[in-house]
Amino acid sequence: MIWTILVGLLAGLLARMLKPGNDDMGIIMTTVLGVCGAFAMTAVGRSLGWYGPGDAAGFVGAFVGAFVILLIIGVVRRRTS
């Protein structure tokens, strides 16, 4: 569980660094972003047959998932404001 949180934090930080624009998030929300990205990419990977039942997405998957979530958040924020 601690490993998942650390990977989520690093993936969330990298995604926020590489996505242009200002994402008003603290360290906890950045960690949640990375962990959610990892869970999302694990689900997508399993449905596409990339991962087996016990496999997880890993750092690259967590980063890609976090980046996609950030893009979706940016689109939603633009439409509501």
> Which tokens is 58 given?
């890993």
What's the pLDDT at 56? Answer: 79
Full DSSP string of the chain = -HHHHHHHHHHHHHHHHHS-S-----HHHHHHHHHHHHHHHHHHHHHHTSS-TT---HHHHHHHHHHHHHHHHHHHHHHH-
How do residues 11-29 score in pLDDT, each as one tens digit?
A: 989 998 998 777 788 889 8
Write down the pLDDT at residue 65: 92
pLDDT digits (tens, 9 = 90+) for 36-71: 998 899 889 889 988 888 887 788 888 999 999 999
Q: Are 8 and 35 in contact (CB under 8 A)?
A: yes
